[in-house]
Chain A
Amino acid sequence: MVAGETRSQIEELNRKIEEAGQQFKLAVVDIEELSLLEKNARYMTNEQFRRLVSNIKRDGGLSSVPFCYKEGDRYKVLSGNHRVMAAREAGLKQVLIMYTDKEMTKAEQIAVQLSHNAIVGQDDPVILKELWDEINDVDLKMYSGLDDKILDELKKISIEPLSEVKLDYRTLSFLFLPSELERVKEVIQEAVELCGGDEIYAARIEEFDRMLAAISKTNAAHNIKNAATSLMIILDIFENHLTDLAEGWTERETSAREWVPLASIIGTENIPVEAAKIIQRAVQKMMDRGEITKKNLWQALEYWAADYLAGE
């Protein structure tokens, strides 16, 4: 409630304003009597709002007066919605407002709302900087809502980095494409142009789902979160199951001209060095006898296997 003395002073002021031919009135109202706009194009970022709340707390009140439209017992804030919100946040119970109780259409109310936000002055950056420089107190600078960065007042001081060189990372992009075959070529081309990775692999969208499932299981099994590490483990598992690749050529029609990986038979690309020395000697002996040539060294394996099977 507004004290009687204040009320009579405000009534006196309102009488003088009316005598001056102006239609606006002043009032000190409970902040809960104010209704905020439901739709407002004007916004404040979090940091601006917090600054406003701090300023109101520092001042102990609003230093500029919201403008309202009186509708029945309530006051609709046409200008100063953020100020009122900030005043609430700052703990103010009552605020001084200017209002009109003259009948206004909805369009007239919107026009007032927009005009208060649109008809604002602009700053001459040079004079603004000069004024800014006259403040030599960090708290007061903060109060102003500006800072040295926004006014471009700080010099850019670049010094050479004193730090270690990082590991060299390469990007591996997997692109999972829609299954429409006619689009695949076009999309790959587009991806190559857009993606910038070092290598690009294409797969259908269904495969992406399978790969995520594989990564997810690997993550859970090894308690890791890094997808690249999971992929390395998946590759390790793959290498341990190279013989499974044999299904790729045993369970389908093949032509005599196809080549398949040796690892899909023996499960490894590498063998112990002592075993390798024996094989090397045998291969050399076959070459010396003219049974194989440099072009078909691999055939040594076939001949040995055939001999072995013949002796069964």
Chain B
Amino acid sequence: MFIGAINQDVRAILYEMAENWRDKEIYVGCSGNFTVERVLFKAGVKNIHSNDVSLYSCCLGRYLTGEKMNVDISDPEYEWLDQYMKNELDRIATLLLCSEMFKYADRQERYFKRMWQAYTENFAKLHEQTKERVAKALDGIRIKSFYAGDVVDFIQQAPDDAVIISFPPTYKSGYERMYKKIDEVFTWEQPVYEIFDDNRFSEFMSSLQKKHAWVTLRDKQIAELEPYLRAITQNGMRSKPVYVYAQEGHAKLTMPRQKTEPLKVPRFAESDEITPDSVLTAAVITQGQMNLLRSEYLSPSIIPAQAMVNIAVIVDGKVIGAIAFSDARYTVASTDIYMLSDFAVRPTKYSRLSKLVLTAALSKEIKAYLEQVFGKRIYTITTTAFTEKAVSMKYRGLFDLYSRKEGMLNYTADAGKWSLGEGLKWWLEKHAHKLKN
């Protein structure tokens, strides 16, 4: 799969700019998946010159100019792919499939072997369908020229009155990592180019700014380019913003916004009491409802993350707090689950209501539900307390500290320690007597 930085918002911004360039010669550096070219074409721009260095992009470029290109298979193990390399369109489809399929190559793990087998067994069908998709995506699109080589050379060779659009790799050796296996399997006349790093970016920018008009983007703010900042787009709360710099253009901005939904369940109030007759329950809530509770009760300085499971903890029909769980990405063992956040509502007279929320998190009922959702056995729950202190009082006595890093404490506890009823009884005995002054 080709990974590019040109999201939906950047496409819209580019489209708007392109409407002024219909009679200009446009030079697109680092064409990648030719998304820029396809947006330009849609905006009625026809005089396009493209450039890139990867085998996939070069095949696309040659196809769009109608030129021929030699590509051979150098690894005998992959000679079976030869039948899928007959013409330019064949090759583009094969390279697209290989970019995904090669993730599973040369691996001995069962999962990877299974995926590899599925790809190789179904290659003919996948290739046919991919070819149809590529033909449709490129239907009617033509470019005036394609330069296989260094983007800085490409820009320098462009006429001064040209418009330059170039979105170079945002991380060092990006192409090289993506195409390592492809370059091992296929032989072709590889262009010479320099690795794109921050130094190369400075050189790239000075070449760019000599031209009539230009657009580029980075995933970080560049102080020297501040006067040219035309847009910032960010999709997710935790995703990196994309900064669009251009010689001209109207300012644009897109920012992520959390969706909130009402939660029509009463909240545990200051006057409410928890007694031995009380009933502790848990209910699954939506991400929108969690966003609402988090906005109300959790420190607003904590950047929200998307959870897979959100649960409201309820006493006698009133919400006392909420917990969010995520998959094993951050966890230490496959039988572990990560608790992204846990918090109690306020105001309350109980100093340690948040411990009752944690008591629920460690219940058999929540464990059983998590096992159903995640389809695996769960033995432990892991979480992180972001604090400069040596210990987090909230987790003490319920979770064990297993590691400490600067500004954070990592805790773990056995899942399914007790039933919700047993947990409530424990909390009533140990913590209910601690009241706020």
Contacts and interface: CB of A to CB of B under 8 A. Distances in A.
20 contacts: A39-B347, A47-B258, A49-B300, A50-B301, A135-B251, A136-B250, A138-B229, A138-B251, A149-B255, A150-B257, A160-B136, A165-B126, A167-B115, A167-B119, A167-B122, A226-B111, A227-B376, A229-B114, A232-B110, A233-B110
Contacts of B126: 164-165, 167
Interface of B: 1-2, 8-9, 11-13, 15-16, 33-35, 38-39, 42, 93, 96-97, 99-100, 109-111, 114-115, 118-119, 122, 126, 129-130, 133-134, 136-139, 229-232, 237, 250-258, 260, 269-270, 291-292, 294-296, 300-304, 328, 334-335, 346-347, 371-372, 375-377
B377 A212 contact: yes
Nearest to A141: B253
Interface of A: 38-40, 43-47, 49-50, 85, 89, 133, 135-142, 147-150, 153-157, 159-168, 176, 208, 212-213, 215-216, 219-220, 222-227, 229, 232-233
A45 B110 CA distance: 43
Given A160-B136, A165-B130, A212 B296 contact: no
Contacts, number: 173
Interface centre among A45, A147, A165, A225 (most CB of B within 10 A): A165
B130 to A, nearest CB: 5
The 6 closest A-B pairs by CB, nearest first: A216-B377, A49-B300, A38-B347, A164-B96, A160-B137, A154-B12
B232 A142 contact: yes
Given A39-B347, A147-B253, A222 B110 contact: yes
A111 B93 CA distance: 66
Nearest to A233: B110
Does more than half of chain A's interface fall in helix, strand or loop, or is it mixed?
loop
A156 B8 CA distance: 8
Nearest to A149: B254
Given A38-B346, A216-B335, A148 B42 contact: no
A215 B375 contact: yes
A200 to B, nearest CB: 16
Nearest to B131: A165
B253 A138 contact: yes
Contacts of A141: 251-253
A138 B230 contact: yes
A39 B269 CA distance: 9
Contacts of A137: 251
